Amino acid sequence: MRTSLFSFNLPAELIASEPPKTRGSCRLMLLSRAGDEAPVHLNMRDFVSQIPKGTVMVFNDTRVRKARVFARNVNDDRLGEFLFLQRSIDGDWDCIVNDARKKRVGQHWCFPGNVTGSITGTPAPDRRTVRVNPPIDECWFEAHGHVPLPPYIRRADNPLDVQRYQTVYARRIGSVAAPTAGLHFTQEILQELTSQGIEIAWLTLQVGLGTFSPVRSENVEDHSMHAERYLLPEATTRKVRDARESGRPVLAVGTTVVRALEASWNGKEPVAGEGSTNLFIYPGYQFRVVDQLFTNFHTPHSSLLMLVSAFCGRGRLLKAYNMAVDERYRFFSYGDAMLIR
């Protein structure tokens, strides 16, 4: 399967560089997972009315770390950018870096807060292993880090992003990108869902390089996903099992939830506990757990676009995307939303 099949023309002005003025005010496209029904154009305020009583909605409660940090080279005072992905058992950090060819093993960098970083490895062309001294913690990131906005948002982060590039239910810190489908939900919408008899369930998938790394291979099947950690509580698997047994739908809020739930499948049911997944979902995949999907509009050639194509069909999805362009929907992390059922 050619990666080029997952492409569409998107005018640059439709890429949302700012969040909507009010959380929960985005446009919403309703798309049928099967059949020939035309997409329906709604608003997020219509969302609750579209969800049947008894539906189990699963959310990712991860919290975004201020993982983008700037440092200066000890020798030439050159400024560099480091996106801290995850810490290894021995305390070193895996980082995505800018201008990677100039960041070599053995270099020393001065980070804010009197922290020194030494480059000790090159796990990938755009990544470096960094050993920091003294060790850093979440308080350090909060004090010195920046919100890790996606690269297609071509501006510096600002105080509004601290709030808006985070879901209202974010709890477990560790992600380097937001589970962006969740950005549309307010506490009022969550309360309304509960009052209408919709069951809410939670899991945590720490969003890392695996979710947002572009598919660079010519053939889809040659792409390898990086592993991401997840935690699936027993209470969530119980709600999902009960829904499946009684014929009620399971609605995943975002592609990260899809990957965690599908990765937990043991052949009979989803299994609770901690895990790590490099599951790559593209057309041909058979979904075992998820029946409905709430998601954003994704970038061309991305694994996210391929996952959604697997869920509802590539042709159907790209036709809906072309309609979204014609209707001037806003795309990507701060953009509008789609409900597929």
Q: In whole angstroms, what is the distance from residue 236 CA to residue 336 CA?
A: 27
pLDDT value of position 35: 80
Burial 124-145 (b: 16+ CB within 10 A, else e): eebbbbbbbeeebeeebbeebb
Q: Cis peptide before 134, with omega less than 30 degrees from 0?
A: yes
d(CA 152, CA 158): 16
Q: How many residues does the chain have?
A: 341
Tell me, what's the pLDDT at 210?
67
Virtual torsion, Cα 12, 13, 17, 22, nearest 10 deg: -150
Give pTM, 2 decimals: 0.95
The side-by-side arrangement of strands in the sheet containing 250-253 is 40-43, 27-31, 337-340, 292-296, 250-253, 56-60, 199-205, 228-232, 273-277
**Interior/surface letters 259-279, b for 16+ CB within 10 angstroms, e for the rest:** bbbbbbeeeeebebeebebeb
φ, ψ dihedrals at 37, nearest 5°:
-65, 140
CATH topology of domain 3-64+161-340: QueA-like (3.40.1780)
The CATH superfamily of 68-144 is QueA-like (2.40.10.240)
For residue 34, the model assigns a pLDDT of 87
Alpha helices, DSSP H, located in the chain: 138-144, 159-164, 187-195, 209-212, 234-246, 255-263, 303-312, 314-326
Helix (H) or strand (E) segment spanning residue 204? strand 199-205
**Interior/surface letters 45-68, b for 16+ CB within 10 angstroms, e for the rest:** eebbeebeeebbbbbbbbbbbbbb
Every domain of the chain and the residues it spans: 3-64+161-340, 68-144
Can you read off the two tokens belonging to residue 176?
């380097």
Query: How many Å apart are CA 247 and CA 264, to the nearest integer?
Result: 20
Per-10-residue mean pLDDT for the chain, 341 residues long? 96 97 97 92 97 98 98 96 92 94 96 97 94 96 97 94 98 96 98 98 91 84 92 98 97 98 95 95 97 97 96 97 98 98 96
CB atoms inside a 10 Å sphere around CB 151? 8
| pLDDT at residue 213, rounded to an integer | 73
